Amino acid sequence: MNTRIAESELILNSRGAVYHLDLKPDELSDTIITVGDPDRVPEVSKHFDTIEVKRQHREFVSHTGFIGKKRLTVVSTGIGTDNIDIVLNELDALANIDFTTRMVKADLTRLQIIRLGTSGALQGNVPVDSYVVSSHGVGLDNLLPWYEFENTPEEQSLLEAFHQQVALRPGSANPYLISASSELAGKFTDGYISGITVTCPGFYAPQGRALRGPLSHPQLLEHLTAFKHGHHYISNFEMETAGIYGLGRVLGHDCLSISAIVANRIGQEFTKDGAAAVAGLIKKSLDIISR
C-alpha cells in the first residue's frame, strides 16, 4: 500500500531539499556519477559545458550540469557503505518520491549511477594506474543484510564459491554479492579491466593491512587473490561498490563501479601520481558517459 511517508522518515530541510544531500528533485539528473572524495566533484564538473547547480552539506558535494545535451549530476559520497546507504536512498527519494504529497510516484525512474573511485589491486596483472570495471561487488560490510533483496542463480553460485574459498571468522562478516548492470558494463570495455570487486568495511585490517593492530584474518589477501570460479576472479577491493550495487538492486537502478588502481597489494606498489590516474579515469569515462 502506498502511504504518506512521515517527516521523520524522509527528512526535508527548509529549502525543501533532501536532508543529507541538500538537493531538490529538479536539481538531480537521471545520470549520476558518484565519487568518494568531495574534492573530486569539481574535477569531474570542470569537464561540463555548463553547471546549473552546486550544493554542499557535510561531505556531500553535488554539481549538476550538461556535457552537450547530456545532463549529469556528480555527487561525493565520502568513504564507506554507511554513506552509500544515505546517498543511494536520497538519490532514489529525489527521483521516485513526490516531495509535496510524500507518496511514492506511480511511474518510477530507473537512475544510472556510475562510481568513479580508487581501489587496491589483488592481482599482479592489475597494475597501478589501470582502470577496473567491477563485474560484481562482494560486500564484507554489513549494509545489504538490512534490506530484502534477491540474488540471481549466477550470483548465488559465485557467492557459494566465495564462502567455500575465502575463510572468514564467524561473526566478522556476512558476505553478499551483487552484479553490475550488464548494459552499463558493456559500454566500458576498451582500456578497462573487468573483475570482481570486494567491498571492505575498513581500509586497514579489513583490507589485510597491518600497521600496529594485529589481524584476525592474516590470510585474507592470499584467499581473495586465489579465488576462482569459472572465468571469474577477484581483481580489487575498496569500500563502496557492493553497497552501490546492492541498493541499486533493492531500489531498481542501474549501477556500475569503475576504479583507478592506486595500490597493488601483490607487488606492494603505490601509484606515483594518484591525481593523474584519477584524472585519466574521469576523462576517459566521461567521454563514454556523455554520449
118 sits near ligand R1P (criterion: CB under 6 A): yes
Binding ligand R1P (rule: CB under 6 A), the pick from 203, 209, 229, 267 is 203
Q: How far apart are CA 249 and CA 177, in angstroms?
A: 11
Smallest separation, CB 204 to ligand URA (Å)? 10
Q: Is the dihedral of CA 186, 189, 194, 200 positive or negative?
A: negative
141 sits near ligand R1P (criterion: CB under 6 A): no
279 sits near ligand R1P (criterion: CB under 6 A): no
- Which CB atom, from 180 or from 221, has the smaller least distance to ligand URA? 221
Place of cell 593523474: 276
CA angle 153, 157, 158 (to 5 degrees): 115
120 binds, among ligand URA, ligand R1P, none (CB under 5 to 8 A by kind): ligand URA
240 binds, among ligand URA, ligand R1P, none (CB under 5 to 8 A by kind): ligand R1P
Say how many residues touch ligand R1P, by CB under 6 A: 10
- Which CB atom, from 251 or from 282, has the smaller least distance to ligand URA? 282
- Which CB atom, from 37 or from 269, has the smaller least distance to ligand R1P? 37
C-beta nearest to ligand URA: residue: 120
Q: Which residues bind ligand URA (CB under 6 A)?
A: 118-120, 203, 207, 238-239, 262-263
Q: CB of 262 within 8 A of CB of 271?
A: yes
Smallest separation, CB 11 to ligand R1P (Å)? 25
Tell me which stretch binds ligand R1P (CB under 6 A): 10-18, 33-41, 42-50, 103-111.
Answer: 33-41
Residue 39 CB-half CA count within 13 A: 3
Binding ligand R1P (rule: CB under 6 A), the pick from 35, 61, 91, 128 is 35
Binding ligand R1P (rule: CB under 6 A), the pick from 17, 74, 117, 221 is 117
Q: Is the dihedral of CA 63, 67, 71, 73 positive or negative?
A: negative
Burial of 235 (0-12, 13-18, 19+ CB in 10 A): buried
Tell me which stretch binds ligand R1P (CB under 6 A): 21-29, 131-139, 210-218, 238-246.
Answer: 238-246
36 binds, among ligand R1P, ligand URA, none (CB under 5 to 8 A by kind): ligand R1P
Q: Phi/psi of residue 217, each to 5°? A: -125, 70
37 sits near ligand R1P (criterion: CB under 6 A): yes
Q: CB of 74 within 8 A of CB of 39?
A: no
Pairing of β 60-67 and β 50-57: antiparallel
In the DSSP assignment, the letter for residue 192 is: -
Q: How far apart are CA 237 and CA 140, in angstroms?
A: 10
Pairing of β 70-76 and β 31-35: parallel
Smallest separation, CB 35 to ligand R1P (Å)? 6
Q: Is 231 helix (H, G, I), strand (E, B) or coil?
A: coil
246 binds, among ligand R1P, ligand URA, none (CB under 5 to 8 A by kind): none
- Provide CB contacts within 8 A for 74, sequence distance 6+: 32, 33, 34, 35, 41, 44, 45, 62, 63, 64
* Chain positions contacting ligand R1P, by CB under 6 A: 35-37, 79, 117-118, 203, 238-240
